[in-house]
A and B are shown apart, each in its own frame.
Chain A
Amino acid sequence: MKTLGKRIEEQPWIGWVIFLITIIVVFLAGLFTYTIVERRTEAQFVFQPATDLDPYEPRLEEWGKAFPRQFNTYNRMADTTYVSPTLGAPKADLLDENPNMVILFAGYAFSRDYNLARGHYYSVDDVRQTLRTGAPMEPEDGPMPATCWTCKSADVPRLIAEYGDDFYAHTLAEMGHEVVNPIGCVNCHEAETMQLRISQPALVEAFERRGKDITDATHQEMRSLTCAQCHVEYYFGQDNKLIFPWDKGLEVAEVEEYKDAIEFADWIHPLSRAPMIKAQHPDYEIFMKGIHAQRGVSCADCHMPFRTEGGVKYTDHRVQNPLNNISNACQTCHRQSEAELTRNVVSRQQDVYEVRERLERALVKAHLEAEFAWNEGASEEEMEPVLQKIRTGQWHWDYGAASHGGAFHAPQEMMKIYGNGLDYAQEARLELSRIAARFGHTDEIPIPDVSTKEKAQAYLGIDLEQLQREKDEFLQTVVPEWLRRADERHRAWDAGDEAPSQF
């Protein structure tokens, strides 16, 4: 048989036909590969969130463009109407509800004003409005340092990146115009990957001092550690730097040991003259002692449970009381009815509150009896051990009382804390009655009537009206100026003249 080559040599048209066929085949093969490329390219446009976000973008609405579900559920935190049988979210005057705290916090700003915080959505507003932050009419005015903003705003990661530790050395008012966005996306998420991240230097440093690397944390641990950026015990160190006192451990006694070692006192109580420590909100510390943490449940599992919309499963960013969302928060694991689960939670909380109230009453009496003893002429030497006990007793009370949800997170730990606290407080009172006896008082030590917020504040000489007048003026004159400057900054970012990460 003649080879193809020979035949083409004889009849060249065959060669041309093959050439033409090859052209058509290559052409079609080209078209085919193009369809593959075309469909591949589609993939770069569908299912790709438009996240061209600045790494320090503080505005929730900018992130919300790419993550509408998370953003919408976050915004539902504006609704604070849900009140559980034991705790609410609407603004409430805790001093009015519990006048004991006026005496316990005498000499400290909490005796003026202690409102229930309304949640992340209102974090910046609540700081501006509370009487505890005073009325700084000028940037350099106190009483509070910028450190108070640290946990309150999505602007803070940007400011800490810009100023470093120097951020804390400013006053609250100097940073007032910079801090306008409430706690938001950037506090817990990387802008590029949406991975959970720690933006709080104090938490990273606390881990380092304990010889741990926070970047080793698993995703499930991060679902609690992002909360532990703020829901923890802390204090202001040198130049008001934010520090988590975890070096000796996270338990009530270990944190106290740490603070004793540096002779730390938040304030001297004006009635008993005891050097007091204010507990902040050791939520994470106490949660970690509870059964849910020990079984590997994270904060987000209950406070931000998954929900589904269409085929989308996502984290509910309405951080709230799980009792307002029992079906998603509890019943994923527990098969009991909503009524029973609520009963289980509330009964634990009420048992804990019962002991807490006993401790609280004992501490109020201890402060007032100590005042009596001083007035009778007790010596510093004999009062010193009493004051230590009052300090330790109230530290125990506060470590529990300031912990959001501790009574449910770890009821057994709370009972231990309050039980030990009660012992310290009553020991102090026992000593005080001995001292009083030496001055001839063997009956019950007389104490003034401080049974309401008004009476207690009047006893301490707090002029609430004056403070409120100053606050109102501050809110009407200074805050609008802060907002105007913030608006200007946001507009410059939108126009592309500046960017959040340009400083």
Chain B
Amino acid sequence: MARARNVIRWLLPPDHWRLPVIILAGFLVGIAIYAFYVSNAGSYLSDSPQTCVNCHVMAPHYTTWFHSSHREHATCNDCHVPQDNFVNHYVNKAQDGLRHAWIFTMRDEPFVIRIHEPGMDVVQQNCLRCHEHTNHRVSAFEGTVAKARAGEQKLCWDCHREVPHGAVTSSASTPYTNVPLPESPVPEWLRSMMGESDASR
């Protein structure tokens, strides 16, 4: 505590600087809050599939899932995030999330987005998690990516190739699809203050 107080005391500006510092610090915090708001950052704590289309490059994956039988039973996170324990769940989510945020911000996303190896392991484990009652006689049981790479096993989607995102996915594979992409962040009250009606949006 004392240390923290010392640091703060060390940071405190001279009296005649205090006002400009308060204002500037406000700018910094404000812009950080704005970044948080405009990127829907809070939604990343949820399991809603809508969060995944915060980035529109995920629209083909969202819509193919939405038109699949998995829609009724599994969200994006049910398959793509570890479900074995709480810590693993959020650590993985944070890692993947930051990686995706970086790629999206840097405009580095490929035209055809393919799952990378750590992600495959997660999905494979989640296939087994739900389907083990029905597939315990199938050799894919206990399958891991490492075993598959060694030629000892198959992964579920080596056979179930269209589950659930279809055989063809790329950023151009689902034109005209209707997914709940984020709408304009301008709140309704501000919009109406600016005299803009719903229709002109």
Contact = CB atoms under 8 A, between A and B. Distances in A.
Interface residues of A, number: 39
A311 B165 contact: yes
A67 B166 CA distance: 20
B179 interface: yes
A117 B185 CA distance: 52
A92 interface: no
A22 B183 CA distance: 32
A63 to B, nearest CB: 12
Contacts of A312: 173-177
Interface string B161-201: 00001101110111111110111110000000000000000
B10 A36 contact: no
B14 interface: yes
A35 B8 CA distance: 33
Interface stretch (B29-37, B76-84, B133-141, B144-152): B29-37
Interface stretch (A3-11, A105-113, A276-284): A3-11
- Interface bin, chain B: 35 or more
B9 A42 contact: no
A9 B18 CA distance: 12
A451 B15 CA distance: 114
Nearest to A10: B14
A47 B67 contact: no
Contacts of A36: 35, 38-39, 105
B11 interface: yes
Contacts of A43: 53, 56, 181-182
Interface string B49-72: 000010110011001100100000
A217 interface: no
A22 B12 CA distance: 16
B17 interface: yes
B177 A47 contact: yes
Interface stretch (A23-31, A54-62, A173-181, A258-266): A23-31
A39 B165 contact: no
A462 interface: no
Contacts of A194: 178
B105 A35 contact: yes
Given A311-B170, A311-B174, A29 B56 contact: no
B28 interface: yes
A490 B27 CA distance: 55
A66 interface: yes
B45 interface: no
Given A29-B35, A47-B56, A311 B17 contact: no
A3 B63 contact: no
Contacts of B181: 43-44, 47-48
A37 B38 contact: yes
Give the dominant DSSP class at B's interface. Answer: loop
A190 B181 CA distance: 20
Contact of A26 (B13, B31, B56): B31
Contact of B168 (A4, A6, A35, A311): A311
Contacts of B185: 37, 40
Give the dominant DSSP class at A's interface. Answer: helix
Contact of B35 (A33, A69, A308, A313): A33
A29 B32 contact: yes
B29 to A, nearest CB: 10
B157 interface: no
A339 interface: no
B166 A3 contact: no
A114 to B, nearest CB: 41
Nearest to B12: A5
A46 interface: yes
A9 B14 contact: yes
Contact of A5 (B17, B175, B176): B17
Contact of B169 (A26, A69, A311): A311
A461 interface: no
A26 B184 contact: no
Contacts of A19: 24
B178 A49 contact: yes
A47 B31 contact: no
A25 B28 contact: yes
Contact of A311 (B10, B14, B64, B104): B64
Contact of B60 (A32, A68, A69, A311): A311
Contacts of A42: 56
Given A1-B10, A49-B178, A67-B176, A33 B27 contact: no
Contact of A30 (B31, B55, B166, B168): B31
A15 interface: yes
A211 interface: no
Contacts of B11: 3-4
Interface of B: 9-14, 17, 24, 27-28, 31-32, 34-35, 38-39, 53, 55-56, 59-60, 63-64, 67, 104-105, 165-166, 168-170, 172-179, 181-185
Closest 5 CB pairs of A and B: A311-B173, A43-B56, A43-B181, A5-B14, A313-B67
6 contacts: A8-B13, A15-B13, A35-B105, A69-B176, A311-B169, A312-B176
Given A5-B12, A311-B173, 5 more contacts: A26-B24, A36-B39, A40-B185, A43-B53, A311-B169
